[in-house]
Chain A
Amino acid sequence: MSAVAASAPAAPVAIAAPSAWKRATRSGGLVIGIVLVIAMVLIAICAPWIAPFDPDDQDVLMKLEPPSAAHLFGTDAFGRDVLSRVIWGARVSLFVGSVATLAGILVGTVIGIISGYFGGLVDKLITAATDILLSFPQLIMGLILVAVLGPSLFNLILAIAITAIPAFIRVARGSTLAMKERDFVDACRALGFGDLRIMFLHVLPNIMDEVVVMGSLWLAAAIRTESTLAFIGLGVPPPTATWGGIIRDGFDNLLDAPWLSIFPSLAILAVMIALNLIGDGLRDATDPRTPQ
């Protein structure tokens, strides 16, 4: 009770929240997406306790075993338990995806706000560079960067983050341009606030919802890129279990052990669907133009 009273200044937000929440949950997609993602994150965090086997433990007597009671998802060509590898693989995919997306959001949003806020030559140069980078497909860009930098956990995150930056520059710049014309920004100027203060304390909070919607869709793209690069052989080096890497192993035994590819594929699919549902749900909730 006292906690509610203490947060009195937040009251207007609390009034606005139910309608947005109602709009978002009406279709059910957002809720399903959030539940799925929370489940995945819990699985990734609790991997050491819930995985039935060590993901790297090889059992030469149990090579390419089909799914059974002991090995629910079967075993791979080294006799490793596929279920345990899929569970551990969630860690790499979610970690790389979220760190890369966060880095992309951070850098992209800051550059985008600066570009939109100041305008002029800086804006022209940044916009031109963004357009050129965006004309290159994310997948090819990520592939080239990792190929050039060499596959490692850090380089993977760096490459995926770089591919995400231009998209966030564009979103943040566009929203900042719209915000700049608003009265409250004029008011801030009249009060003598500095540019930095206006940009990051006043403009930033107002463009955050668009950045967040974009972020959830880009998280899906980042995880997709990570698993794709792993599938091509440019992911976190083996023996670390990654979803794309497990599928790559399974691809060599597609004819006699299809389960090796199927289970990690389903894991990737579940995350992709969940994040797309969240992204669409958030967009519907934050976009007032969405038909009710």
Chain B
Amino acid sequence: MLRFIAKRLLLALPTLWAVLTLVFLLVRVVPGDPTIIVLGDQASPAAREALRQRLGLDKPLLVQYGEFMVQIAQGDLGRSLVTNRPISTDVAAVLPYTIELTLAALFIGSLIGVPLGVVAAQKRDGFVDWLARIVSLAGLSFPAFVSGILLLILFAVELRWFPVISTVNTSDPLERLRALALPAINLGLLMVAYVTRVTRSGMLKALSEDYVRTARAKGLPARLVVWRHALRNVLIPVVTVIGLYLGVLIGNAVLTEIVFNRPGLGKLIVSALNQRDYALLQGLMVVTALAIVVANILTDLTYGLVDPRVKTA
């Protein structure tokens, strides 16, 4: 297992390097002078030169690139152009909220999506199957901010079951859960859609396989055949899909945070955009890239847990 993890980490390095290079280039290939973008076109040449030096933009591109890579390797994301605080501090302060939200959405997605997909496949074209198709179509169709706003209007403004503005800085765990509920449902809806789809189609295929027929033939109860024998083999594609869409989930978590006014990476990204804080934006891109690479590694590691055959491969 340790060797498998080590190998996987090693394989992730080239991807990480390429993504970081992409981030580095994106911020620098921008048409136009970044100092004008940050300071405005009224700024004096001296002020622009000072900023250029502070950002290290006066050095050759390759030197900048080297420094950028070394900094990141040391866990240094640079300093915000606006507040001059270390970006890693700002990110560390809000990251737990984004992780909490994403995990809650994953939980909701698997808890509803897997059973829904299994039952839909069992009774094909039945009521549950029809429901599953509607749910997954809705989940795939809603942009996260649209579903978020509609949830807010219905459950927070009209029914008043949940707070309109999430107060997350509370020590009361029940209150914290209540604040998490709507954002997690909003983000979870998307995951339910993906998980239901892949579970349903995987189950349909598995149920027609020989080993399922054998299990049935030897008189095992249908419940056992479906939930133990067939489902086990469907879990690999399910985990793959969850891992594949973790990136999408992170993107939508950003939107969900904006709609529900939750602290997290989303609000940080928006403030970086509004204040044209390119250093902060670059730092956030690095964090997002890291999160996605880590998510991919975790997905691969989960294979080993779900399917013991993967470990030896």
Q: Which residues of A contact B (CB under 8 A)?
A: 128-129, 131-133, 135-140, 143-145, 147-150, 220, 224, 227-228, 231-234, 244, 247, 250-251, 254-255, 258, 261-262, 265, 268-269, 272-273, 276-277, 291
Please give, as numbers and ranges, the residues of chain B lying within 8 Å of A258 by CB-CB distance. 153, 157
Please give, as numbers and ranges, the residues of chain B lying within 8 Å of A150 by CB-CB distance. 32
Interchain CB contact (< 8 A) of A135 among B140, B142, B285, B296 = B296
B30 to A136, Cβ gap below 8 A? Answer: no
User: Could you give, for residues 19-32 of chain B, a 1 whenever the CB lies within 8 Å of some chain A CB and a 0 otherwise?
Assistant: 10010001100111
Please give, as numbers and ranges, the residues of chain B lying within 8 Å of A131 by CB-CB distance. 15
Chain A residue nearest to B292 in the complex (CB): A135
Contacts known (A228-B145, A232-B270, A258-B157); A136 close to B247, Cβ less than 8 A: yes
Q: Please, could you name 20 A-B residue pairs with CB atoms under 8 Å apart, sorted by A?
A: A131-B15, A135-B247, A135-B292, A137-B248, A137-B250, A138-B248, A139-B252, A140-B250, A144-B281, A150-B32, A227-B143, A232-B255, A232-B258, A233-B273, A247-B145, A254-B152, A255-B164, A261-B153, A269-B146, A272-B143
Chain A residue nearest to B141 in the complex (CB): A272
Interchain CB contact (< 8 A) of B157 among A140, A232, A255 = A255
Contacts known (A139-B248, A231-B145, A269-B141); A148 close to B27, Cβ less than 8 A: yes
Q: Which residues of chain B from 106 to 139 have a CB within 8 Å of any chain A CB?
A: 137-138
Chain A residue nearest to B282 in the complex (CB): A144
Chain B residue nearest to A227 in the complex (CB): B143
- Within the assembled complex, what's the spacing in Å between the Cα atoms of A16 and B248? 38
Contacts known (A139-B251, A144-B285, A254-B157); A261 close to B292, Cβ less than 8 A: no
Residue B234 at the chain A interface, CB threshold 8 Å? no
Please give, as numbers and ranges, the residues of chain A lying within 8 Å of B32 by CB-CB distance. 150
Contacts known (A135-B19, A137-B251, A228-B255); A148 close to B30, Cβ less than 8 A: yes
Please give, as numbers and ranges, the residues of chain B lying within 8 Å of A148 by CB-CB distance. 26-27, 30
A136 to B150, Cβ gap below 8 A? Answer: no
Q: Given A137-B250, A273-B137, A291-B204, 19 other A-B contacts at CB below 8 A?
A: A132-B15, A132-B18, A133-B22, A135-B292, A135-B296, A136-B22, A136-B288, A139-B251, A140-B247, A147-B273, A148-B27, A149-B30, A228-B144, A247-B149, A251-B149, A261-B153, A265-B149, A269-B141, A269-B146
Residue B55 at the chain A interface, CB threshold 8 Å? no
Chain B residue nearest to A129 in the complex (CB): B18
Please give, as numbers and ranges, the residues of chain A lying within 8 Å of B51 by CB-CB distance. none
Query: What's the dominant secondary structure at chain B's contact region?
Result: helix
- Within the assembled complex, what's the spacing in Å between the Cα atoms of A137 and B269? 15
Residue B182 at the chain A interface, CB threshold 8 Å? no
Contacts known (A135-B247, A232-B270, A233-B274); A140 close to B254, Cβ less than 8 A: yes
Please give, as numbers and ranges, the residues of chain B lying within 8 Å of A272 by CB-CB distance. 140-143
- Within the assembled complex, what's the spacing in Å between the Cα atoms of A231 and B146? 9
Minimum C-beta distance from B66 to chain A (A): 21
Residue B235 at the chain A interface, CB threshold 8 Å? no
Listed residue (B143, B247, B292, B293) with the most chain A CB atoms within 10 angstroms of its CB: B143
Residue B289 at the chain A interface, CB threshold 8 Å? yes
Chain A residue nearest to B266 in the complex (CB): A232
Please give, as numbers and ranges, the residues of chain A lying within 8 Å of B258 by CB-CB distance. 232
Please give, as numbers and ranges, the residues of chain B lying within 8 Å of A261 by CB-CB distance. 149-150, 153
Chain A residue nearest to B255 in the complex (CB): A228
Please give, as numbers and ranges, the residues of chain A lying within 8 Å of B142 by CB-CB distance. 269, 272
Chain B residue nearest to A275 in the complex (CB): B141
Please give, as numbers and ranges, the residues of chain A lying within 8 Å of B27 by CB-CB distance. 148
Chain A residue nearest to B273 in the complex (CB): A147
Please give, as numbers and ranges, the residues of chain A lying within 8 Å of B18 by CB-CB distance. 128-129, 132
Minimum C-beta distance from A175 to chain B (A): 20
A247 to B289, Cβ gap below 8 A? Answer: no
- Within the assembled complex, what's the spacing in Å between the Cα atoms of A224 and B138? 13
A132 to B22, Cβ gap below 8 A? Answer: yes
Chain B residue nearest to A155 in the complex (CB): B31
Please give, as numbers and ranges, the residues of chain B lying within 8 Å of A143 by CB-CB distance. 269, 273
